[in-house]
Amino acid sequence: MLGGLVTSVMLMKSDMPAGQAAPDEEGTPVSVKIRERLTAAKKRFNANDNIAAFIEPGELEKLLDEVESKMQGVLDSLVIDTVGDHNTQNTARRVAKMYLNEVFKGRYVPGPSITEFPNAEHLNELIIVGPITVRSACSHHFCPVIGQLWIGVMPNEHTNVIGLSKYARLAEWIMGRPQIQEEAVVQLADLIQQKTRPDGLAIVMEASHFCMGWRGVKDMDSKMINSVMRGVFLKDPNLRREFLSLIPKKSSS
Ligand SMILES: Nc1nc2c(ncn2[C@@H]2O[C@H](COP(=O)(O)OP(=O)(O)OP(=O)(O)O)[C@@H](O)[C@H]2O)c(=O)[nH]1
C-alpha cells in the first residue's frame, strides 16, 4: 500500500497532480514519516494531542507543502477555479498556513516556556485569572469555538508561582488544536496542575460553538459552559462558592 504511494509521488512539486502529498527526496510524504514515529512510540495522535516531539527540524515546512497540496485537491473537488478566480489562487497555501502556523499551532509546537518561582512567602490565598479569551475549533467540523475562561488556583507552600501571562499562554497552546470543550478544560487543568502543584484548581469555560450557529441547528445564542474543580475546590463548598461569586456574571458581558 505504502509502496504504491511512494512510487507514484516521485515527481517534481510542479508536476504533481492536485491533492497528492508533497514527498521528500526519498519519496515518502512527511506526514507518513511522522505518523510512523508516533505509531512506533505507541503515542496517540488525536486531533487535540500535541505531536511536536515527533517532528524533526525542517519538517514543519514540508508538512506545510503537503497540506497545501492536499488542500488544492479539496478545492479542485469543490469545483472552484483556483486558476481563473483571483480570490482563490493562493487559498490552498493560505489555509495550510492557517492550520499549521495559526489555529492548530498547539498541535505542532512545544509548549510555552514557563518560569516557575518558589512560593517564598507561603501564599495560600485564592488567585483568580480571567477572563482569558479562548480561540479553538471543534474536532467535528473544524468550526471556530470562541469564548472565555477563568482559572482559580489555591496555592500551598510547595506550589510554584508562575507569571500571570503564563496562564493565557498555556490556554492558547491547549486551545490551539481541534478540541471538544469537555476535553479541552481537562487538558488545561492537567497542565496547570503539573506546572503549579496547587492545593486546588478550578476552571470555568464558556464558549460559542460556530458549528451550532453558522450551520447545523443554526442556534446563534446557546453557549456551552463547563467547569473542572479539583482538590480543595471539590471538597470545600465555601471556596467553590467564593470562586464562582468572584467570576463576573457570564454571558452578560
Ligand atoms: N459534547 C460536545 N459536542 C460538541 C462540541 N462541539 C461541537 N459539538 C457537537 O458535536 C456534534 C457532532 O455531531 P454529528 O451528528 O456527528 O454531526 P452533524 O450531523 O453535522 O450534526 P449537527 O451539528 O447536528 O448538524 C454536534 O452535535 C455538535 O454540536 C463540544 O465541544 N462538545
| Each residue's pLDDT expressed in tens, for the chain with a length of 253 residues | 333 332 222 333 344 444 455 566 678 999 999 999 999 999 999 999 999 999 999 999 999 999 999 999 999 999 999 999 999 999 999 999 999 999 999 999 999 998 877 777 777 889 999 999 999 999 999 999 999 999 999 998 878 788 899 999 999 999 999 999 999 999 999 999 999 889 999 999 999 999 999 999 999 999 999 999 999 999 999 999 999 999 987 654 4
* pLDDT of the residue at 7: 27
User: What's the half-sphere exposure (Cβ side, CA atoms, 13 Å) at 123?
Assistant: 16
Number of domains present in the structure of the chain? 2
Amino acid at 1: M
Amino acid at 183: E
Residue 85, number of CB atoms within 10 A of its CB: 11
Amino acid at 219: D
**Pairing state of beta strands 144-154 and 161-162?**
unpaired
**Pairing state of beta strands 144-154 and 200-209?**
antiparallel
> Residue 252 falls within a domain, yes or no?
no
Is residue 140 in contact with ligand 1, taking CB distance under 6 Å?
Answer: yes
Do both 177 and 67 map to the same domain?
no
Is residue 216 in contact with ligand 1, taking CB distance under 6 Å?
Answer: yes
| Placement of cell 467553590 in the chain | 240
* pLDDT of the residue at 118: 74
* pLDDT of the residue at 21: 53
Grouping H, G, I as helix, E, B as strand and the rest as coil, residue 2 is helix
ipTM over 0.85: yes
Q: Distance of CA 127 to CAs 176, 202, 233, Å?
A: 25, 10, 12
Is residue 225 in contact with ligand 1, taking CB distance under 6 Å?
Answer: no
The domain in which residue 143 lies consists of 117-246
Closest CA to 147 of 229, 205, 61: 205
> Residue 40 falls within a domain, yes or no?
yes
Do both 87 and 183 map to the same domain?
no
* pLDDT of the residue at 122: 73
Estimate to the nearest angstrom the gap between the alpha carbon of 5 and the chain centroid: 30
Ligand 1 centre to CA of 143 (Å) is 10
* pLDDT of the residue at 11: 33
Is residue 98 in contact with ligand 1, taking CB distance under 6 Å?
Answer: no
- Tell me whether the omega of the peptide bond preceding residue 23 falls within 30 degrees of 0, making it cis: no
Do both 104 and 9 map to the same domain?
yes
Whole-model pTM? 0.87
- Assess contact for 130 and 150: CB atoms under 8 A: yes
Do both 96 and 125 map to the same domain?
no
Ligand 1 centre to CA of 249 (Å) is 27
> Residue 251 falls within a domain, yes or no?
no
Is residue 43 in contact with ligand 1, taking CB distance under 6 Å?
Answer: no
- Assess contact for 6 and 20: CB atoms under 8 A: no
Grouping H, G, I as helix, E, B as strand and the rest as coil, residue 138 is strand
* pLDDT of the residue at 10: 30
Q: CA-CA distance, 219 to 37, in Å (whole number)?
A: 42
Residue that is last in its domain, among 68, 83, 108:
108
Q: CA-CA distance, 170 to 176, in Å (whole number)?
A: 10
* pLDDT of the residue at 22: 58
> Residue 141 falls within a domain, yes or no?
yes
* pLDDT of the residue at 16: 47
Is residue 110 in contact with ligand 1, taking CB distance under 6 Å?
Answer: no
| Placement of cell 495560600 in the chain | 124
Ligand 1 centre to CA of 139 (Å) is 9
